[in-house]
Amino acid sequence: MAKWSFSNPTWTPTAVGDTATMTANGACGILGGSASQFIKTMEVEIGGQATGSSPMIFVVARDSTVAATSITLGTNGKNAPLSAFTAALAAAQVPFFSATTMPQRAATLHLLQLSFNAYGGLVRWLAATGEEITQYGTAVNVGEISLSCFTGGTMGAIATHLVYEPD
């Protein structure tokens, strides 16, 4: 299908432990648009914008509680196709920074841990073809991934993007 970029030019995470409810605009994620939608995430980038030392522990993980109700891109969130010829899917994927019920990170389903300092730091992960992070449907533990900050450290402003491909 087509690749999309889910990005935010500036936001500040809110640290949260596993199986605790994330804070709107303090974490982000991608939820499947239907019960049979398959999504591959092949790139995660976090660029630091903090004005003072801000070491943070980022986690890409599956969610044991998925976002629900009034799910939106939140403050500054963007979602755009990489190709100008991309048409919207019948059941559009649901990237989000905000929801009435924010998700909870699964304690045992961490996919990628990225500790970095947002004061001048940068993190970028790229998957090889066929080795992407995959998710399917909308159910807990398989249908949603999130990018959030684990407790500890000092929160600071960052920019992020995730490149993903919904089918």
CB nearer another protein, residue 53 or residue 100:
53
Alpha-carbon distance of 31 to 25, in angstroms, equals 16
Q: State yes or no: residue 49 binds another protein (CB under 8 A).
A: no
Per-residue binder mask for another protein (CB under 8 A), 89-128, x = binder: --------------------xxxxxxxxx-xxxxxxxxxx
Alpha-carbon distance of 144 to 127, in angstroms, equals 18
Q: State yes or no: residue 5 binds another protein (CB under 8 A).
A: no
Q: The tokens of 81 are what?
A: 């196709």
Cβ–Cβ under 8 Å, residues 156 and 54: yes
Q: Tell me the window of 5-13, 25-33, 73-81, 131-139 that interacts with another protein (CB under 8 A).
A: 131-139
Q: State yes or no: residue 133 binds another protein (CB under 8 A).
A: yes
CB nearer another protein, residue 1 or residue 122:
122
Least distance in angstroms from the C-beta of 28 to another protein: 18
Cβ–Cβ under 8 Å, residues 51 and 118: no
Q: The tokens of 120 are what?
A: 């001048």
Q: Which of 44, 60, 64 is nearest to 149 (CA)?
A: 60
Alpha-carbon distance of 106 to 89, in angstroms, equals 28
Alpha-carbon distance of 20 to 108, in angstroms, equals 13
Least distance in angstroms from the C-beta of 102 to another protein: 21
Least distance in angstroms from the C-beta of 163 to another protein: 12
Could you give the dihedral angle defined by the CA atoms of residues 15, 16, 21 and 23, in that order, rounded to the nearest 10 degrees?
Answer: 0
Assign 74 to helix, strand or coil.
coil
Least distance in angstroms from the C-beta of 43 to another protein: 9
Q: State yes or no: residue 53 binds another protein (CB under 8 A).
A: yes
Positions that interact with another protein (CB under 8 A)? 35-36, 38, 48, 53, 55, 57, 59-60, 109-117, 119-128, 130-134, 136-137, 139, 142, 150-153
